[in-house]
Structure 1
């Protein structure tokens, strides 16, 4: 009887909370970790882009079906008579949160800033030669050659106010890897639906509706964005009515939540693949007992690891059946995906041990593995499972886990020799994967390639994709690049990531393919 009374009281409290939220138009949104920075051109991170997209607008976005959505650009097309120039017609009457008018000059400034040396967004603009304001509401982007897919690269390039940036000394992008702070790291001035009210990194941020927003007024007029890294605590906050919407739902909790009165769960695939990467250069591993060579530089060792990792066991045990095992870095929706590359071989520990012995490592070796411990993709649990799998072929793995905000810089700085991460593809094109993960690190390319992998011939092929207009030629080049990547195995794909959102009953938010739900699109019953 007592339990029944408590349950009824809890249900009434939850209902009252939701009605209060709807009436007050406030949404309490919980995530497992925070945006890495508010500087919109510093980090190419999905969580960071998701949060910043509520404050800043890009020229072009994507809707819930992955189709182009005109935002600050109302139209875009190749210049008549010159297929190396993209023309963007801009939305008129838009203002930044501080009241400054949005013009073509802000677009020129922002694209140039995003393609600057320190920006982790620069590879998206590698083929840009210059950006010019033709008038207040027209911008021309001169490419190094015909670049038919360039608009695909703009969905996460947010537009800043040049005047505000100059006044606050943030013309230069934050050097995140060096631990640099600037005014744009904790302050923001965009054209988006929400203005920043307060910011306590890794704890809580508050956004309020921008009364001068150019788009349709959303039902959510205030957002309380709270960071709750512990899975159990985050779920308890939803069940108790402390938060309304949880974006990072542990897969072990999906069935329980879906069967709980007053809670709705949405699930579906994300345009993202989880994978392991490792140092494959000749320099020995600093964390290994092998001091005169790098075992991972040997293709036989990498093939042994490939055969030893049981992706289906990870799917069943760690991901509770929700992930889709894969042996390619290309998610299902991405141009260049093939069933052949996607298909994984049977786990073969005996053959893996034979390969280890053939490579001269019959007794195995030791190595350190880095994982984030607060991701929605269960990276730490996956890493723990792989530690056991590699132990079967003599590889002793020492796992170190840390928050994503500390894990990400290890990868971009090249300090991690063995790591787990995931990669989304907002352009829906293989070139996005090649540019950042495969190309030799340096210049506009290879930002997230700390592996030491370098193939000059492959680099040239990758760079050609940006300006290749012959579809058949381009498709063949993409296929040829994948052939090399699949054979060299310097990255170890695991699975296509699933997504699950949980929310109070009466809230409507479908799964976004890039895991970028927009609170301006959320509705209350």
Structure 2
């Protein structure tokens, strides 16, 4: 069954009851360039979606104000053997519909997250089985030792087994196939905020959960989230006072917002690295005028594309300095970052032309490039700059820039030849790049976001060893080797680490996480 353009009012939200906003209620109005594409926390592994839904649903382990690990729906966790972790669950927690949270919900959420249609398989891919010890204790039995398991859980949210079964939502909403269910537009979490009204692409409102088990440090009673795709319109909404917070602030408007006496800009480096991927598996590209072969299987072509891109020009002219070029897919804040690999191949059009000629493409070729226009900072402008750069080596880019609502289902289905993606390792660890992005696609979410199917057996072997290695020195050496192989083979083309720019009224206090998460429970709106 499909559900389209649903409006969910407070009276319809699974019998959650009414939430009356008093005369002194505090409302936070948030605008973003894009929308959360649904209310299902297992349907799309995308930062905005997870940031919004992280206020409604909760994981076993979360991050605090300082972004350090802290208990959430689990109060403690210990390793009882090299391949078994025991988690004690928090007692007295109820979902928004009043159903108690128990071990059965954890087991259900595991099966759902690893199942068909899930975009969260890589978060549970290390798990062999989940054993119920009692109502509030579960054992995670792993395929192999995995010492950073708690960090992997911070984006895996718990759902109610009873609610999903009652509402025919036992399987995740499948963005790739366009399959939707009740979880597309309704929500039943344990978090500090509850969904009140959902109008996809227009606005979504949330209200404080009066039965929340934990502390809500902020004073916000209601959050109204509005997608405003046009940069100028979004800035105008902030300047006029129509919204209280918005992101991202377009790089060209940062100074304008900063200079407004009623506004401020929250800035910081994001953990995300933006990169380009290429189909390296098919014998013939889906979207190219080259027939009978795949030019991206030739490293010389991949390197030519890399060296034809003027990364400093993109940094200066497109990003207005709000980006740091990267030579690997890891930001410096990530465990396992290798500073000695931080040297990009030089921008050299003539060298790129020579490589293309050596590969048999002296006159270039045509290829379609897929790009979002409402996901990353200046994403479509970056892709336009890349297209202009590649034209210098006679490559004609047929650029298809579109909203992420259609972009992600397309590229996640691997219906692409050349694409842009950004990645933030939620574990703040290199394994969360090696496993989902650089590994050969396989079971358990391995290579789930390696959309061009780059494959190297040694990288796969090292990734498996990194997962279980407890000696930091040995582990970092293996990470370094894997990164070096991937870099030398031009497995992907790294571009830059983007900067965070949020605009807000000066009377609004926010916590800005480096993964671009916005936890509403910490927001304080002063009179």
Q: What is the TM-score of this pair, normalised by structure 2?
A: 0.92
Give unmatched runs, 5+ long, in structure 1. 1-19
The aligned residue for residue 279 of structure 1 is 279
Name the stretch that deviates more: 483-492 or 131-140: 131-140
Contact 2:204 2:225 in 1 (8 A): yes
* Aligned equivalent of 1:381: 381
1:286 & 1:148 partners in 2: Cα distance? 40
What is residue 507 of structure 1 aligned with on the other side? 508
- CA-to-aligned-CA distance 1:356-407 (integer Å, 9 cap, x gap): 1111211111111111111241110000111111111111111111101111
Per the alignment, residue 314 of structure 2 pairs with: 314
C-alpha displacement of 1:326? 0.6
Deviation at 1:282, TM superposition (A): 4.9
In 1, Cα distance between equivalents of 2:119 and 2:170:
15
Partner of 1:76, secondary structure, is strand
SS in 2 for 1:155: helix
- The CA deviation string for residues 232-290 of structure 1, in whole angstroms up to 9 with x for no partner, is 11111111111111022111111111111211111111110001111123522233222
Structure 1 residues 282 and 98, CA gap change in structure 2 (3 angstroms): closer
Matched with 2:115 is 116
Q: Aligned residues, how many?
A: 504
Match of 2:77 in 1: 76
Structure 1 CA distance, aligned partners of 2:210 and 2:22? 19
Q: Are the structure 2 counterparts of residues 480 and 22 from structure 1 closer, same or farther at C-alpha, using a change threshold of 3 Å?
A: farther
Task: Write the mapping of 1:8-87 to structure 2, written as runs, cut at 5 A.
Answer: 23-79=24-80, 82-87=81-86
Superposition CA RMSD, Å: 1.7
Q: Any stretches of 5+ residues in structure 2 without a counterpart?
A: 1-20
- 8 Å contact 2:459–2:486 — kept in the other structure? no
Report the counterpart of residue 11 of structure 1 in structure 2: none
Given that 2:36 and 2:49 are in contact with CA atoms closer than 8 Å, whether structure 1 keeps it comes out as: yes
C-alpha deviation, 1:22, in angstroms: 11
Q: Judging changes above 3 Å, is the alpha-carbon distance between structure 1 residues 480 and 102 closer, same or farther for their aligned structure 2 residues?
A: same
What is the alpha-carbon distance in structure 1 between the residues aligned to residue 144 and residue 280 of structure 2?
A: 34
Q: State the match for 2:143 in structure 1.
A: 144
Q: How does 1:86-485 map to 2 (within 5 A)?
A: 86-217=85-216, 218-444=218-444, 445-485=446-486
**Counterpart Cα distance in 1 of 2:269 and 2:22:** 29
SS at the partner of 2:306? helix
**Aligned residues of 1:229 and 1:374 also touching (Cα < 8 A):** yes
Cα distance, 1:487 vs structure 2 = 1.0
Distance across 2 between alignment mates of 1:238 and 1:23? 22
The answer to whether the Cα contact below 8 Å between 2:272 and 2:423 also exists between their aligned partners in 1 is: yes
1:188 to partner: Cα distance = 0.7
Aligned residue for 2:396, secondary structure, equals strand
CA distance in 2, matches of 1:259, 1:510: 22
Distance of 1:282 and 1:44 partners within structure 2: 25
TM superposition shift of 1:457: 3.7
Deviation at 1:23, TM superposition (A): 4.5
Please say if residues 369 and 400 of structure 1, whose CA atoms lie closer than 8 Å, have aligned partners that are also in contact. yes
The Cα shift of 1:499 comes to 0.5
Secondary structure of the 2:466 match is helix
CA distance in 2: counterparts of 1:63 and 1:216, whole angstroms: 12
Instruction: Supply the distance in 1 between the matched residues of 2:441 and 2:132 (Cα, whole angstroms).
Output: 32
